[in-house]
């Protein structure tokens, strides 16, 4: 189902915004949240219902929200990871139980360092000694905190506890225990999402190059990397891109060909916004995507409703 009118667009945007805000509240105050585990499950189900309406529009709005999140980087990053895990789980044909444990772990993986993660997202210098120690310990502390707050799903807890552990990369993907396999998925998705984050800007290296490096350096995760690229690519809907024609674009919808999405061309090579954006299927030829752009580097005020309407005639391949 595509966005058909402005009211539907506003309703969908409000639902994604409310979901992100609600998640931000429980992650910022986990011990003050009654029935934390139940609330996390509710947010997962809410996310699933939004993705069923229109996965590409959901990704588009999610990445646009992430670049201007009023609730902080940590919550928006967790929601992005949960959505990517949800899509990857489908591509890998995981069981419903595995999918649930994985996505709920993604939503809550940084519960023990939410405030500090928000600080780090806006910190130009490297983490100091105290911060490094908090980063090192947060998976295990998070798993303990979740257990104390009523999470009884052992896989959920083990995934949170192991999502930065290098030991989960050992062994054949389909042969290792479920919790190890799921931890491996979240570990890659976590790193990948940080690389393609609209907030992220790396001198001398584009987000697409960084994300490609994450996949390439995960020798034991070829199946995960392939699934991730298949369902979202290096530039998911909602991310800004520079074309090799120097035009400015925003990824609109995925296509059957990985890393060849439909792009809405919104700016000329001379740097002027187009009065009437147009859709280009990169799978059909030039111009091609040269690099992803951080949202902080795009000052244009775009009409996202107008842009999403351009995708109504494009059938979703998934």
**Among residues of the chain, what percentage have pLDDT more than 90?**
64
Cα–Cα distance, 238 to 13 (Å, whole number): 13
Q: Which residue has the higher pLDDT, 213 or 58?
A: 58
The pLDDT tens digits of the residues spanning 266-287 come to 999 999 999 999 999 999 999 9
Would you say residue 203 has pLDDT above 70? no
pLDDT at residue 108, as a whole number: 98
Between CA 154 and CA 91 the distance in angstroms is 23
Q: Residues 6 or more apart from 103 whose CB is under 8 A from it?
A: 44, 47, 82, 85, 86, 89
Averaged pLDDT, 170-199 = 88
Neighbours of 49 (CB within 10 A): 10
pTM over cut 0.75: yes
* DSSP H stretches of helix in 168-291: 178-196, 207-216, 222-231
Q: How far is CA 225 from CA 62, 91, 155, 163, 234, in A?
A: 21, 11, 21, 16, 11
Please list, in sequence order, all residues whose beta carbon lies within 8 angstroms of the beta carbon of residue 115, skipping any fewer than 6 positions away: 28, 74
pLDDT of residue 72: 81
- Say if residue 233 is exposed, middle or buried (CB neighbours under 10 Å; 0-12, 13-18, 19+): buried
Q: Per residue in 44-54, pLDDT tens? A: 999 999 999 99
Average of pLDDT values for 106-115? 95
241 pLDDT above the threshold of 50: yes
Give the separation between CA 157 and CA 159, rounded to whole angstroms: 6
CB 92 within 8 A of CB 224: yes
More confident residue, 262 or 207: 262
DSSP calls for 253-282: E--SSTT--EEEEEE-TTSPEEEEEEEEEG
Tell me 72's DSSP state: -
How far apart CA 128 and CA 130 sit, in angstroms, is 6
Answer yes or no: is pLDDT of 201 > 50. no
The pLDDT confidence band at residue 218, using thresholds 50, 70 and 90, is low
Mean pLDDT, residues 72-96 taken together: 94
* pLDDT, tens digit, 9 for 90 and up, residues 9-48: 999 999 999 999 999 999 999 999 999 999 999 999 999 9
Query: Tens digit of pLDDT for each residue in 128-146?
Result: 999 999 999 999 999 999 9
Q: Cβ contacts of residue 54 below 8 Å, gap of 6+?
A: 1, 2, 3, 12, 316
Domain-by-domain residue ranges, the chain?
6-234
CATH tag, 6-234? 1.10.3210.10
């Amino acid at each position: 189902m595509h966005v058909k009118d402005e009211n539907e667009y506003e309703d969908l945007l409000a639902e994604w915004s409310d979901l992100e805000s609600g998640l931000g509240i429980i992650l910022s105050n986990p011990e003050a949240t009654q029935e934390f585990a139940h609330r996390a499950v509710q947010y997962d189900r809410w996310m699933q219902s939004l993705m069923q309406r229109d996965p590409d529009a959901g990704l588009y709005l999610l990445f646009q929200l992430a670049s201007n999140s009023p609730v902080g980087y940590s919550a928006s990053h967790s929601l992005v990871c949960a959505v990517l895990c949800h899509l990857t789980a489908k591509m890998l044909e995981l069981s419903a139980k595995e999918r649930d444990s994985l996505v709920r772990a993604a939503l809550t993986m940084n519960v023990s360092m939410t405030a500090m993660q928000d600080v780090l997202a806006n910190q130009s210098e490297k983490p100091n000694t105290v911060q490094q120690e908090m980063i090192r310990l947060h998976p295990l502390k998070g798993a303990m905190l979740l257990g104390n707050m009523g999470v009884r799903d052992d896989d959920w807890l083990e995934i949170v506890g192991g999502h930065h552990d290098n030991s989960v990369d050992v062994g054949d993907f389909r042969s290792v225990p479920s919790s190890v396999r799921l931890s491996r998925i979240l570990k890659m998705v976590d790193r990948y999402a940080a690389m393609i984050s609209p907030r992220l800007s790396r001198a001398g290296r584009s987000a697409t190059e960084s994300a490609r490096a994450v996949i390439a350096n995960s020798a034991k995760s070829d199946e995960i990397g392939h699934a991730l690229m298949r369902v979202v690519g290096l530039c998911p809907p909602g991310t800004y891109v520079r074309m090799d024609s120097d035009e400015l674009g925003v990824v609109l919808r995925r296509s059957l060909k990985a890393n060849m999405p439909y792009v809405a061309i919104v700016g000329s090579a001379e740097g002027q916004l187009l009065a009437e954006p147009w859709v280009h299927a990169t799978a059909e030829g030039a111009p091609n995507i040269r690099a992803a752009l951080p949202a902080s580097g795009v000052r244009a005020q775009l009409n996202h409703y107008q842009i999403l309407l351009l995708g109504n005639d494009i059938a979703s391949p998934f």
